[in-house]
Amino acid sequence: MKFGILVNEGPYQHQAADTAYQFCKAALAKGHRIHRVFFYHDGVHNASKLTEPPQDDRHIVNRWIKLAEEHDIDLVVCVAAGLRRGLVEENLAPRFRISGLGQLIESGIQADRLVVFGD
């Protein structure tokens, strides 16, 4: 099965980002594919290279980067939601790219299921 993933909440203030990441890992381990992860609303904060959690805490941004590198997953940040929150191209972590809502629509069409994490 091919999944599209929508993450609407930022890291560290809501469980949605962690749950989406764990879902992706579990799906991939079972042989499924992740077509794209689209970050929308506060979820765009998952893509910030400025994130520096304490050393004893998980680094959610780095988890997404590693997952994308290992499984060639497209990580897309909504341009409008990013700009509203001050996230611009220069602040993006590696493997993330900025694009429009058309990428979310395309993912919903091309994937077998679109799974939404967060409000």
Residues marked as catalytic: 78
How far is 39 from 41, CA to CA, in rounded Å?
Answer: 7
**What is the pLDDT at residue 56?**
86
What range does the domain containing 24 cover? 2-117
**What is the pLDDT at residue 13?**
87
Q: Which residue matches tokens 């749950």?
A: 19
Q: Which amino acid makes up residue 77?
A: V
Element (H or E) spanning 25, and its range? helix 16-29
Smallest CA-to-CA distance from 86 within 50, 38, 33, 118 is with 50
Instruction: Give the HSE-up count for residue 113: Cα atoms under 13 Å, Cβ half-sphere.
Output: 11
User: CATH no. for residue 48?
Assistant: 3.40.1260.10
**What is the pLDDT at residue 111?**
97
Split into its structural domains, the chain has a count of 1
Longest dimension (CA), the chain: 40
**What is the pLDDT at residue 81?**
98
Q: Give pLDDT tens digits along the chain (119 positions).
A: 999 999 999 999 899 999 999 999 999 999 999 999 999 999 999 999 999 888 888 999 999 999 999 999 999 999 999 999 999 999 999 999 999 999 999 999 999 999 999 98
